[in-house]
Chain A
Amino acid sequence: MTDLASLATDPLFGLPLADLWFGLLFFIFATFLFLDGFDFGVGVLFATREDTDEREQLLSAIGPFWDGNEVWLVVFGGAMFAAFPAVYANLFSRHYLLLFAILGALILRGLAPEMYEQRHDEAWQRWWGRAFVVGSLTAPFFLGLFTANWLLGATTIVTLPGVVVGLAVVALTIVDGVAFLRLKTRGDLREGLRTDGYRALVAYLLLIVVTLGYVYGAAPALRSALFSAPVAALVLATLVLAGVYAAATWADRYYVAFGAVAGLVFALVGIVAGLMYPIIDRAGGLTVETAIVSTLPLNLMSIGAAILLPLVFVYFVVLYSAFSGPIEAGESY
Chain B
Amino acid sequence: MIDPVFASRLQFALTTIVHIVFPVMSMGLAPFLVYFTWKDIRTGQPIYEQLRRFWTRIFAVSFVVGTVTGIVLEFEFGTNFAAFSTTAGELFGGPLALEGMMAFMLEATFLGIFVFGRERVGNVLYMCSAIAVGLGTWLSALWILIANSWMQTPRGYELATENGQTIVQLVDPVAAYANPRFPWMFVHMQNAAVESVALFMAGLGAYFVFRHHVWGYPVERIGFWETTLKFGLLALLITAPLQVLHGDLYARHVVETQPQKFAAMEAVWETDSYVPEYIVAFPTSIQDLFDPRAKDIFGIGIPGGASWLASGGDPQATIQGLEEFSGPQPPVAIVFWAFRIMVALGFWFVLLAVWGGYRWWRGELLEDDLLQKALMISTPLGLLAVELGWVVTEVGRQPWLIQDVLRTSEGVSTGLTAVEATTTLAGFAVVYLGLLALYAYVVVRIVRAGPPKVDGPELDGTGTPASEVQADD
Show the binding face of A for B, using Cβ within 8 Å: 8, 63-65, 67-68, 70-71, 73-75, 77-83, 85-86, 88-94, 96-97, 99-100, 103-104, 106-107, 110-111, 114-115, 118-119, 286, 290, 293-294, 296-297, 300-301, 304-305, 308-309, 312, 315-316, 318-319, 322-323, 333
Top 3 closest pairs, chain A to chain B, by CB = A85-B89, A92-B78, A64-B112
- Per the bound structure, the CA–CA distance linking A68 and B83 in Å amounts to 31
Q: Which of B31-39, B211-219, B262-270, B423-431 has 4 or more CB atoms under 8 Å from chain A?
A: B423-431
- Per the bound structure, the CA–CA distance linking A92 and B79 in Å amounts to 5
Closest chain-A Cβ to B461's Cβ sits at a distance in Å of: 28
- Per the bound structure, the CA–CA distance linking A128 and B120 in Å amounts to 28
Q: Give B110-127 as 1s and 0s: 1 = Cβ < 8 Å from A's Cβ atoms.
A: 111101110011000100
Could you list 29 A-B pairs, sorted by A, with CB under 8 Å?
A: A63-B112, A67-B63, A67-B112, A68-B111, A73-B71, A74-B100, A75-B105, A78-B74, A78-B98, A78-B101, A82-B96, A86-B89, A88-B77, A92-B79, A93-B82, A93-B414, A107-B69, A110-B68, A111-B68, A118-B445, A294-B170, A297-B90, A304-B97, A309-B101, A315-B106, A318-B110, A318-B113, A322-B117, A333-B117
Q: A103-B72, A318-B125 are in contact. List 5 more A-B contacts (CB 8 A).
A: A68-B109, A70-B67, A104-B431, A290-B163, A315-B106
- Per the bound structure, the CA–CA distance linking A279 and B430 in Å amounts to 38
Instruction: Provide the residues of chain B in CB contact with A308, threshold 8 Å.
Output: 98, 101-102, 105
A70 nearest in chain B by CB position = B67
Contact of B108 among A71, A88, A99, A309 (CB under 8 A): A71
- Per the bound structure, the CA–CA distance linking A301 and B109 in Å amounts to 22
Instruction: Provide the residues of chain B in CB contact with A83, threshold 8 Å.
Output: 93, 97
Contact of A85 among B85, B109, B420 (CB under 8 A): B85
Asked if A293 contacts B445 (CB within 8 A), the reply is no
Closest chain-A Cβ to B145's Cβ sits at a distance in Å of: 16
Asked if A67 contacts B79 (CB within 8 A), the reply is no
B94 close to chain A: CB less than 8 A: yes
Asked if A93 contacts B111 (CB within 8 A), the reply is no
Instruction: Provide the residues of chain A in CB contact with B89, threshold 8 Å.
Output: 81-82, 85-86, 88-89, 293
Instruction: Provide the residues of chain A in CB contact with B113, threshold 8 Å.
Output: 64, 318-319, 322
Contact of B105 among A68, A93, A97, A301 (CB under 8 A): A68
- Per the bound structure, the CA–CA distance linking A148 and B469 in Å amounts to 73
B173 close to chain A: CB less than 8 A: yes
Instruction: Provide the residues of chain A in CB contact with B281, threshold 8 Å.
Output: none
- Per the bound structure, the CA–CA distance linking A67 and B68 in Å amounts to 10
Given A78-B99, A96-B79, A304-B97, A322-B125 contact (CB < 8 Å): yes
- Per the bound structure, the CA–CA distance linking A300 and B111 in Å amounts to 29
Asked if A89 contacts B86 (CB within 8 A), the reply is yes
Given A88-B93, A319-B112, A74-B71 contact (CB < 8 Å): yes
Instruction: Provide the residues of chain A in CB contact with B170, threshold 8 Å.
Output: 294, 296-297
Instruction: Provide the residues of chain A in CB contact with B255, threshold 8 Å.
Output: none
B169 close to chain A: CB less than 8 A: yes
Given A67-B112, A82-B97, A89-B83 contact (CB < 8 Å): yes
Asked if A103 contacts B94 (CB within 8 A), the reply is no
Given A67-B112, A78-B100, A104-B427, A93-B416 contact (CB < 8 Å): yes
Contact of A312 among B69, B101, B442 (CB under 8 A): B101
Asked if A304 contacts B112 (CB within 8 A), the reply is no
How many chain B residues touch the partner (CB < 8 A)? 70
Closest chain-B Cβ to A12's Cβ sits at a distance in Å of: 14
- Per the bound structure, the CA–CA distance linking A319 and B116 in Å amounts to 11
- Per the bound structure, the CA–CA distance linking A319 and B133 in Å amounts to 13
Instruction: Provide the residues of chain B in CB contact with A286, threshold 8 Å.
Output: 163
| Chain B contact residues, majority secondary structure | helix
Asked if B91 contacts A71 (CB within 8 A), the reply is no
Q: Give B51-78 as 1s and 0s: 1 = Cβ < 8 Å from A's Cβ atoms.
A: 0000000001101110111111011011
- Per the bound structure, the CA–CA distance linking A83 and B113 in Å amounts to 32
Asked if A74 contacts B74 (CB within 8 A), the reply is yes
- Per the bound structure, the CA–CA distance linking A300 and B97 in Å amounts to 11
Asked if B173 contacts A296 (CB within 8 A), the reply is yes
- Per the bound structure, the CA–CA distance linking A279 and B86 in Å amounts to 18
B300 close to chain A: CB less than 8 A: no
- Per the bound structure, the CA–CA distance linking A296 and B162 in Å amounts to 15
Given A64-B117, A88-B89, A294-B90, A110-B109 contact (CB < 8 Å): no
- Per the bound structure, the CA–CA distance linking A228 and B55 in Å amounts to 56
Instruction: Provide the residues of chain A in CB contact with B67, threshold 8 Å.
Output: 67, 70-71, 110
Asked if B85 contacts A89 (CB within 8 A), the reply is yes
- Per the bound structure, the CA–CA distance linking A103 and B69 in Å amounts to 9
B80 close to chain A: CB less than 8 A: yes
Instruction: Provide the residues of chain A in CB contact with B99, threshold 8 Å.
Output: 78
Closest chain-A Cβ to B310's Cβ sits at a distance in Å of: 36
Closest chain-B Cβ to A288's Cβ sits at a distance in Å of: 14
Instruction: Provide the residues of chain B in CB contact with A94, threshold 8 Å.
Output: 415
Q: Give B163-186 as 1s and 0s: 1 = Cβ < 8 Å from A's Cβ atoms.
A: 100000111010000000000000
- Per the bound structure, the CA–CA distance linking A293 and B162 in Å amounts to 10
B152 close to chain A: CB less than 8 A: no
Given A81-B96, A322-B120, A97-B75 contact (CB < 8 Å): no
Asked if B442 contacts A88 (CB within 8 A), the reply is no
B354 close to chain A: CB less than 8 A: no
Given A86-B89, A94-B415, A297-B94, A64-B68 contact (CB < 8 Å): no
